[in-house]
Amino acid sequence: MCIMIVEQEIVILIILLCSSLGFMVGSVLSPSARLKGKEIAYWRGLTGDFKKQLKAEKRSSDGELDDLLAGGELNIGSILKLLKNNPDILKQVSPILDLLKSGKLNTPDLNPNDGRRELR
C-alpha cells in the first residue's frame, strides 16, 4: 500500500511538470504571442515618431512666451534663453518688477486664515 502512494505522487508530479512545461512552450510558440510582439513594436514606433515630431515643432517655433508656457518647459534655462532671444519682453516686464521692488504693488494674501487652522 505504501508503494502505491509513492507511485501515485510520482505520477502526479510528472503530470504537473509535463503540463506546465507544455504550457510554457505553447505560450512561447503561439502565433498570437508573435503577433502581439509585432503590434507592440509597431505602436512603439508610432509613439517614437510622434515624440520626434513634437520635438521638431518645439525647436522650429519662435520661442514665444505662450509656446513656452503651453509646452510645460518653464525652467530657468528656457526663460533665460527666451529673454536672450527677445529682450523686448524684459522691457515690458520691468515696470512691474520695479513696482514689486518698491512694495507699492499689492501682493495677494498668502495665508487667508491668518494662521488659524480649521477642521474639515
Q: Which residues contact 65 (CB under 8 A, 6 or more apart)?
A: 82, 89
pLDDT in tens, the chain (120 residues): 555 667 888 889 999 999 999 999 988 888 887 788 889 888 898 888 888 888 887 777 655 655 555 556 666 777 777 778 888 888 888 887 787 777 766 655 555 555 555 555
| pTM, to two decimals | 0.32
- pLDDT for position 19: 96
Q: Which of 45, 40, 35, 88 is nearest to 63 (CA)?
A: 88
